[in-house]
Amino acid sequence: MAAASLGLGLLLYLGSGFWAAVSQDGLSQEMHTGLGSEPPLAVRFFLAVPELSQRYVPIAMLLALALVGLRRLVRRAAALGESWLFDLALVPLGTGLVVGVVVGLLVWIGSPRPIGVALKGLVSFGLATAAVVALLDLLAASLVRSRVFRAVVPAFVVLLLVARVGADAWGSWRLAAYDREWEREVADERVRAAAAKRPVLRGEPRPENAAPKYRAALAAVATRLGPSARAETQSLDEAARTAPGSAVAEAVKAVLEKHRDTSAAIRDALLAERCDWETRYGELYWRAGSSIGPPRFVGALLVVEGHELAARRDLDGATGRYQDAAQFGSDYGSSSLLVGALVGSSIEATAFRALGRLVTGPAAGQPSLARIDRDLGRLEGALSSISSGYRNERLSMGHFQRRLDEAPAEAGLQEPLILPWLVPYRALAAHALTRYEPRLRELEHALAEEDPSLAARAQDRIQAEFAGTLNPILRGMAGVGSSSGNTRRARAIEDEARALLRLTRLATRVEQARDTAGRYPADLLGVETPADPIGWPAPLRYAPTPDRRGYKLWSVGLNGKDDGGSEEERADIVLERKAS
């Protein structure tokens, strides 16, 4: 009987893996990641079997132990002896069928899918559960015959219950203490945000908050774009990447005319001396706007309007539009979590690149160089900050106990689910917060420093410290295995915007250092040169043409190497004045 039960269990277990591999019913989409749309059947099979084992072992263990007792009761009630057929009918086929149907229906009700897909999932779940129960039933049936097992199990269960209650109480206490500290820090952050003044580069500052006007303008853009959002955004993005003064296509002109009032509304908001988005920390899914599309569209809109003004030789007007785009990007960068800071930095980079090209462009006239240098100096301290984005991410972890109860997946509770069967969720969450929150603060402070190696080392410490954790919430928070590269890419986006701002400021100084014969300096000994934010602490690079009628300025670029001012594959970040 034991051999038959074991053989049937193995057969069903392998059969369930084969079914999942053939049907690709979506037990876990991650099993197919990176393998293409139709990986080989053997590959799908060997991926499916471990997936089924990891997913159903906890459920099957409890079912196997429960069914040992249930089977004995049924035998006594029916006056049955040892029955091989009875054992196979009740364990595991009956178990798999019942559990598969119930869970399959619950999944289908919770997220309706086509009936064919639901049936495939139901069959896979039933087969897998039945198979694992069959394998464990043999072990469970053998153990209950042991007197030692009968004495140890009740004591173990009591100790486990006491430990769970104690761990849950500790977790609740720790989460409540964290929430109190979080509420104090959020109150301080709200006071800081409400009192912070932002630079107003053009016009008379108003004692207003720009955020409500931005929010209304972005909502209007999202509504107005409608089905044409992708086409209009793409046309503006392409136009924004062209050089100042380039001819603006008729289709792009039509987009500009359609959204002139949006541009006017944004420029009106830029006169406000404050920009407080009044972030609602601790709320799930809170964000400043509906998506990142409208702010990207607005940034490109302002830059292309600058190109339009440059084509008319209104260089001061073009300068103003580029600065407006950069200032809007810096304001939006403080709007929400890390994604807001990334979008803000991206808008800033586009604006500063356009302004730098205007300063170093054909000498048919020049904007006010001293004013540009001064305005960019005021704006640099208000740029979008990845450090601020991480601070908002950290502050968004508040009300963790409520978040854990309402949406455990959003709080970082991810598979595998074996550990939460033994340890209460609140204890896991409290342990995760206690370990991760100090490290996130450390990363936040390191990102605020100019030396990029500090943030890299802080992120590496997070990866090394939490790489082997069994806590699924801590693993989800720390993003073990993925967030290291993400943090470096996020810092690179901020550094590119800052490098372009500093290159533009340096270009204004080099232009003003030109001698009466129209030649540029042979070196930068007499010119204040900013540090390269990517190649820190080295300064930005400068190389005049042989006749000193032109020059090239560059940052080492996102690869961290000095490629001599080469722009091939975006090796360096370059501004160039062509020799006239």
Is the domain of 134 the same as that of 227?
A: no
Percent of the chain beyond pLDDT 90? Answer: 19
Is the domain of 234 the same as that of 377?
A: yes
pLDDT for the residue 411: 53
Per the structure, the count of domains in the chain is: 2
Poorest-pLDDT segment among 45-54, 191-200, 230-239? 45-54
Asked whether residue 365 is domain-assigned, the answer is yes
Last residue of a domain, one of 384, 402, 422: 384
Percent of the chain beyond pLDDT 70? Answer: 64
pLDDT for the residue 254: 87
pLDDT above 60 for 525: yes
Last residue of a domain, one of 97, 117, 145: 145
pLDDT for the residue 116: 62
Is the domain of 140 the same as that of 217?
A: no
Average pLDDT over residues 515-519: 75
- For residue range 236-277, list pLDDT tens digits in order: 888 888 888 888 888 888 888 888 999 999 999 999 999 988
- Environment class of 312 (CB within 10 Å of its CB; exposed 0-12, middle 13-18, buried 19+): exposed
pLDDT above 60 for 128: no
| Structure confidence at residue 437 as a pLDDT band (50, 70, 90) | confident
Asked whether residue 30 is domain-assigned, the answer is yes
Is the domain of 136 the same as that of 205?
A: no
432 CB contacts (<8 Å, ≥6 apart)? 412, 471, 473, 474, 477
Asked whether residue 309 is domain-assigned, the answer is yes
More confident residue, 117 or 84: 117
**Spatial contact of 117 and 104, defined as CB atoms under 8 Å apart:** no
More confident residue, 253 or 515: 253
Average pLDDT over residues 93-108: 59
Is the domain of 218 the same as that of 81?
A: no
Pairing of strands 573-577, 272-274: unpaired
CA nearest neighbour of 398 among 411, 417, 385? 411
Is the domain of 226 the same as that of 371?
A: yes
Is the domain of 131 the same as that of 269?
A: no
**Spatial contact of 516 and 485, defined as CB atoms under 8 Å apart:** no
Is the domain of 6 the same as that of 138?
A: yes
Is the domain of 205 the same as that of 352?
A: yes
Asked whether residue 103 is domain-assigned, the answer is yes
pLDDT above 80 for 323: yes
Per the listing, tokens 């269960």 go with 157
Is the domain of 216 the same as that of 365?
A: yes
| Structure confidence at residue 401 as a pLDDT band (50, 70, 90) | low
3-state class (DSSP) for residue 551: strand
Poorest-pLDDT segment among 188-197, 475-484, 561-570? 475-484
Asked whether residue 23 is domain-assigned, the answer is yes
Is the domain of 247 the same as that of 336?
A: yes
pLDDT above 80 for 455: yes
Note down the domain range covering 217. Answer: 201-384
pLDDT above 90 for 319: yes
**Spatial contact of 302 and 324, defined as CB atoms under 8 Å apart:** yes
Residue 578 structure tokens: 């062509």
Q: Does a cis peptide bond (omega within 30 degrees of 0) precede residue 227? A: no
Is the domain of 343 the same as that of 210?
A: yes
Asked whether residue 32 is domain-assigned, the answer is yes
Last residue of a domain, one of 145, 171, 189: 145
Asked whether residue 443 is domain-assigned, the answer is no
| Structure confidence at residue 69 as a pLDDT band (50, 70, 90) | low
Asked whether residue 177 is domain-assigned, the answer is no
